[in-house]
Amino acid sequence: MLCTIDVGAPARAHGERESMQIRENEPLAGRTTLGVGGAARWFVEAASEAEVVAAARWARERGLKLFVLGGGSNLLVADEGFDGLVLAVALQGIAREKNLVRAAAGEEWDHVVSFAVEQNLAGLECLAGIPGTAGGTPVQNVGAYGCEAGESIERVRAYDLESGGFVEFTRVECGFGYRRSRFNAEDRGRYVVTRVDYRLRADGVAELKYADLKTCFADRKTTPTLAEVAETVRTIRRRKGMLMVDGDADCRSAGSFFKNPSVAPEKAAELRAWAAGRGLALRTYPAADGQEKIPAAWLIEQAGFPKGYAMGAAGISSRHTLALINRGGARAAEIVALAERIRAGVADQFGIALTMEPVRLGFR
């Protein structure tokens, strides 16, 4: 079944399409990198801000729940699907204004990174190869290899579903933290991001903070270019099965499934002593409020869940312990069952509760 929405006067004034179609019972699994889950009761793609407004109005008038879908790279959809309207943000466009890169929320993220690199603007190159869209970067404060999107984000434009108007947030107002922002915390579900502005550096010099990345260029006598850094990051991600490659089962994941937990210094010292007593090494990292960040992958492996561990059609990537994968034909319930088994094992072994990172849609 198809429904047609009149987008309204703003669209007509800007020469955009005057109506868009809402589809019924749209499968969602193929729109996520994990590839599991049921269908959306209603589904629409919005290619302009006017269409975002029209879709939100349509859902509100019918009392429907609304979920905003980006690239589906950090999403786990329930087998029962979602009984509401899924709004896929498809706004396109990217431009440079001096040291500012403005990207529409529907732009593929790696395209944004490539654009910045081609413009010799530094700040995003270590985030190359991450699946998803620009609109998702401020929501999750996407980070990798010593860099977080929030460090470069200057402004986020979004539609406020409560007030019915557009608002813009500065970096400070976004409330960025480790894998968090106001958009996935206190204001979860309130805003539809439509554009993100990134303030970058015109010197074209990458900041290599991540130890493994520094090692890749340790023998270089010259400073690596932004393009070299970005491609090296993609190579590392490919080696770990964290770059989307057709036919690679390890790529059917939602990226890192668990956040790296932060613990008190005393707990970190206890873990290091436990590791040393078994001839193991444990590297911890500084975290907020004087705490120390523990690699979740290390905890998972030491709790008895190695790379390649499988439970039915769900499993752990053969190349990256933090990635739970769809080995082929998995159901969402199988992914959740594996995740809960891992969480229970880590809690029993170390007394640490792991937090799942992907957004869960349609679960009761």
Known catalytic residues?
Answer: 179, 256, 357
DSSP code of residue 168:
E
Half-sphere exposure of 353 (CA within 13 A, CB side): 1
The answer to whether residues 144 and 127 touch, using CB atoms and an 8 Å cutoff, is yes
Query: What is the distance of C-alpha 13 from the center of its chain?
Result: 34
Strands 153-160 and 191-199, sheet pairing: antiparallel
Report how far residue 192's alpha carbon sits from residue 364's, in angstroms, rounded to the nearest whole number: 23
The answer to whether residues 168 and 65 touch, using CB atoms and an 8 Å cutoff, is no
Report how far residue 144's alpha carbon sits from residue 122's, in angstroms, rounded to the nearest whole number: 15
Neighbouring residues of 101: CB distance < 8 A, sequence distance ≥ 6: 94, 95, 112, 115, 116, 119, 121, 124, 197, 198, 200
Report how far residue 128's alpha carbon sits from residue 228's, in angstroms, rounded to the nearest whole number: 11
Alpha-carbon distances of 298 from 40, 114, 255, 279, 320, rounded to whole Å: 36, 32, 16, 14, 11
Structure tokens at 339: 């995740």
Neighbouring residues of 51: CB distance < 8 A, sequence distance ≥ 6: 5, 7, 11, 16, 17, 20, 44
Report how far residue 69's alpha carbon sits from residue 49's, in angstroms, rounded to the nearest whole number: 15
Q: Residue 290 CB: number of other CB atoms within 10 A?
A: 9
Give ∠ CA 285-289-291 in degrees, rounded to 5. 35
Sign of torsion over alpha carbons 333, 330, 240, 128: negative
